[in-house]
Amino acid sequence: MSAVIELAGARKTYRSGEIEFEALRGIDLAVDEGEYVAIVGPSGSGKSTLMNILGCLDVLSSGSYRLGGEDVEKLSEVALARVRNQQIGFVFQQFHLLPSLTALRNVELPMVYGQVEKNERRERATAALERVGLGDRLNNRPGELSGGQQQRVAVARALAGDPTMILADEPTGNLDSASTEDVLGLFDELHAAGRTIVLITHEHDVARRARRMVTVRDGVIVSNVPSEEAAA
């Protein structure tokens, strides 16, 4: 399989005046096409910084990051925006749905920015919502949906652009146990269908649903094992 993510010697240093803080301290990580990987760690471990790097929302201080074989460091801001829009499907803890728009329109929105033709984006948004089990909720607004259903809309929005990978940052953080199981079951289905999923979480029970668990602490990877081994 080809690697979707290739991080080598990844370092990220933040500076404020004379104060420096090294959030990532030389991380090597590869994620192959079709893998389901969880990145887990406590607050301050560096996992959020790592998520920002993987999502092309921030850049490394040193080291390299290749996404789908492309050297991210060499991309212009315009090219990075294209990567974020077309290659990465984001799912966040906060659903980031516009309350005035229907589920269908919320899923269509990134494709509007991506200049996808109207009929095509309508077809793709409808198919994505049907894929996550919300084919009968196309015209419902977020306020008319449960938390789990809103997160499913967010997943559909991530899927509609047919991204290289889905990057989910604490996707169950605002959900009750039943809705958490619902969303994680959906990720299981997407993985079984061949999707590449990277899940960022501080919850080990959530992380164990992935097939591989990468544990980050103090800016370094301290464990990188199949989830069943991490649970042992």
The two three-digit tokens of residue 51, written as one number: 């998520």
Residue 232 has pLDDT above 60, yes or no: no
Tokens of 97: 């749905």
Domains and CATH numbers, the chain: 34-61+75-231 (3.40.50.300)
Per-residue pLDDT reduced to its tens digit, 5-31:
999 999 999 998 889 999 999 999 999
- Report residue 62's pLDDT band, with 50, 70 and 90 as the boundaries: very high
Confidence of residue 1 (pLDDT cuts 50, 70, 90): low
pLDDT score recorded for residue 219: 95
At 87-100, the pLDDT tens digits run 999 999 889 999 99
Say what the pLDDT of residue 230 is.
62
Mean pLDDT of the chain, nearest integer? 92
Query: pLDDT tens for residues 141-179?
Result: 999 999 999 999 999 999 998 898 999 999 998 888 988
| pLDDT over 90 at 201, yes or no | yes
92-136 confidence digits (pLDDT tens): 988 999 999 999 999 999 898 888 899 999 999 999 999 999 999
Q: What is the pLDDT of residue 231?
A: 59
Q: What percent of the chain has pLDDT over 90?
A: 78
